[in-house]
């Protein structure tokens, strides 16, 4: 399978496809300005490191690996066509099914600045229609270089309007969760999911001293992760997204999850997710499309 992919979509010296020990296919991108890996199952970007950074910017648990039908811990999981628990079906997968089913490669290329572009598509199938009976496809385009851009486009090819929840649920690599602040969401309302679901308003920068699980709503703001230990800032810009999710499981929940990279991998990640969730879910009229875009940039300070 990888021979055909490399023939059709491989780019000499930039993009190749390999079969993982799990039998899943992984795209490896390595160009003059950045490197990344992406599992075709779930169109799941697993890692990204600009050549200017000594440490990866996107975090991947050392306790995770691609397994057919299972989500990978870390990287940038694609949450679609719902975010969080399904509204009515407790047995449906959290964050939707997109991240655990095969996607198809549909295009690859090199950007004018030398960045590598790869697009994958998930089309409706009998399996997906069981959980979501709509004729929609979703494309994910990743553009890997000194910055990382991801564009997630839902195309409603059906005859009914649909409503989706979605997120690029990105795990960022940091030096230590206790030495990190997130700015950009000052004054925004958020649903605090720790200990229930309470609506609050952000006062000042976000810092971390325990489990934090917040869905900031009605905000298109760019966020910045200030990492005092690694002495860098990560800029998280977004378009077509009105929710931002900020999450760290902290120690007790991380230990229960068991795949966060023992003993303290949880200290080296923070999620800043660009989403449309809760009151920001998106209605896509029949025959139209909607795109959520993120662009990440890291700078040493």
Environment class of residue 259 by beta-carbon count within 10 Å: exposed (0-12), middle (13-18) or buried (19+)? middle
Q: How far is the CB of 86 from ligand TA6 (least distance, A)?
A: 12
CA distance 240 to 19: 34
Terminal-to-terminal C-alpha distance of the chain: 44
- Range 182-201, binding ligand TA6 (CB under 6 A): 193
Q: Taking a C-beta distance cutoff of 8 angstroms, is the pair 280, 242 a contact?
A: yes
Binding residue (CB under 6 A) for ligand TA6 from 11, 70, 84, 124:
84
> What are the start-end ranges of the H helices in 99-236?
126-131
169 part of the active site: yes
Query: In angstroms, what is the minimal distance from the CB of 186 to ligand TA6?
Result: 21
Q: Of 17 and 172, which has the nearer Cβ to ligand TA6? A: 172
Pick the binder of ligand TA6 from 35, 273, 281, 296 (CB under 6 A): 273
Pick from 47, 53, 61, 71: which binds ligand TA6 (CB under 6 A)? Answer: 71
Contact positions with ligand TA6 (CB under 6 A) in 210-249? 213, 245, 247
User: Alpha-carbon distance 300 to 230, whole Å?
Assistant: 8
Nearer to ligand TA6, 17 or 83 (CB): 83
The CA–CA distances, whole Å, from 89 to 95, 111, 125, 137 equal 12, 42, 19, 22
CA distance 245 to 32: 32
- State which residue, 139 or 273, has the beta carbon closest to ligand TA6: 273
Q: Which of 44, 169, 268, 290 is catalytic?
A: 169
Contacts of 125 (CB under 8 A, 6+ apart): 101
Strand partners, 232: 227, 300
**Vertex 66, ends 26 and 104: CA angle to 5°?**
45
- Nearer Cβ to ligand TA6 (29/60): 60
Q: Is 82 in the site for ligand TA6 (CB under 6 A)?
A: no
Site membership for ligand TA6, residue 95 (CB under 6 A): yes
Element (H, E) at 187: none
In the complex with ligand TA6, which residue's Cβ is closer, 182 or 271?
271
Of 136-175, binders to ligand TA6 (CB under 6 A) are 169
Return the residue nearest ligand TA6 (CB atom): 247
Residues binding ligand TA6: what is the number (CB under 6 A)? 12
Among 8, 19, 89, 94, binds ligand TA6 (CB under 6 A): 94
Least spacing, CB of residue 265 vs ligand TA6, in Å: 14
Q: Extract the tokens encoding 101.
A: 């089913």
Return the closest-CA partner of residue 138 out of 149, 124, 126, 148.
Answer: 124
CA 194 to chain centre: 21
Question: Could you say which of 151, 166, 268, 273 is catalytic?
Answer: 273
Contacts to ligand TA6 by CB under 6 A: 71, 77, 84, 94-95, 169, 193, 213, 245, 247, 271, 273
Which sequence positions are flagged as catalytic?
A: 169, 273
């Amino acid at each position: 399978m990888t021979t055909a992919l490399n023939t059709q979509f491989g780019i000499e010296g930039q993009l190749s496809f390999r079969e993982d020990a799990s039998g899943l296919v992984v795209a490896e991108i390595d160009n003059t300005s950045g490197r990344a890996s992406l599992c075709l199952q779930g169109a799941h970007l697993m890692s990204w490191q600009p050549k200017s950074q000594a440490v990866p910017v996107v975090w991947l648990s050392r306790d995770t690996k691609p397994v057919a039908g299972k989500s990978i811990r870390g990287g940038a999981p694609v949450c679609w066509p719902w975010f969080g628990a399904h509204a009515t079906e407790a047995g449906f997968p959290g964050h939707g099914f997109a991240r655990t089913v095969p996607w198809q490669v549909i295009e690859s290329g090199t950007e004018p600045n030398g960045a590598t572009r790869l697009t994958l598509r998930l089309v409706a199938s009998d399996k997906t229609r069981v959980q979501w009976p709509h004729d929609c496809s979703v494309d994910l385009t990743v553009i890997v270089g000194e910055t990382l851009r991801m564009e997630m486009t839902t195309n409603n090819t059906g005859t009914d309007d649909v409503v989706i929840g979605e997120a690029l649920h990105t795990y960022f690599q940091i030096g230590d969760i206790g030495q990190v602040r997130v700015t950009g969401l000052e004054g925004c309302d958020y649903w605090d999911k720790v200990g229930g679901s309470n609506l609050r308003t952000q006062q000042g920068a976000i810092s971390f001293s325990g489990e934090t699980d917040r869905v900031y709503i009605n905000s298109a703001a760019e966020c910045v992760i200030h990492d005092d230990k690694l002495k860098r800032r990560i800029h998280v810009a977004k378009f077509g997204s009105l929710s931002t999710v900020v999450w760290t499981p902290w120690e007790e929940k991380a230990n229960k999850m068991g795949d966060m990279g023992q003993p303290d991998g949880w200290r080296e990640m923070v999620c800043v997710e660009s989403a449309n969730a809760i009151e920001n879910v998106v209605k896509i009229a029949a025959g139209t499309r909607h795109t959520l875009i993120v662009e990440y940039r890291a700078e040493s300070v």
